[in-house]
């Protein structure tokens, strides 16, 4: 389970990074060049989008990286990443895989109490 959590966290973090690049870039482009009526408008809270675009991939990749040794902490980081993405970006076609991968990785990491290694976090 810890290996699955590691892989899901890293892949989810990489997808979250891709979503973050576009989201951050969109808010910056609208701020720089202005809104285009009927096509592109600034989001309600651009600072939230920019912050989550940076923080969520970091939490997911860091959680995935530590899933084999510190599964409880890794699970908490990955679930926090998934929750932040869900709150900031909502669930849509671009965010369903990053949210799904990091949430499932977080759940698997938390559930990996005893089976993989003799040292459990429970």
Cα–Cα–Cα angle for 63, 76, 24, rounded to 5 degrees: 65
Distance of CA 18 to the CA centre of its chain: 11
pLDDT digits 0-9 by tens, 16-44: 999 999 999 999 999 999 898 889 999 99
The span from the CA of 24 to the CA of 52, in Å, is 9
User: What does the block give as tokens for 106?
Assistant: 């977080």
pLDDT digits 0-9 by tens, 102-119: 999 999 999 987 655 556
Q: How many helices (H) and strands (E) does the chain have?
A: 4, 0
Helix (H, G, I), strand (E, B) or coil at 1: coil
């Amino acid at each position: 389970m810890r290996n699955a959590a590691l892989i899901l966290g890293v892949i989810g973090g990489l997808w979250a990074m891709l979503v973050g690049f576009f989201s951050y870039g969109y808010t910056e482009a609208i701020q720089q060049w202005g809104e285009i009526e009927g096509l592109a408008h600034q989001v309600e809270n651009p600072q939230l989008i920019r912050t989550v675009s940076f923080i969520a991939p970091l939490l997911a990749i860091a959680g995935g990286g530590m899933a084999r040794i510190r599964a409880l902490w890794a699970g908490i980081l990955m679930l926090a990443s998934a929750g932040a993405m869900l709150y900031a970006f909502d669930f849509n076609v671009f965010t369903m895989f990053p949210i799904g991968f990091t949430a499932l990785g977080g759940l698997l990491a938390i559930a990996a109490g005893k089976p993989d290694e003799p040292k459990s976090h429970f």
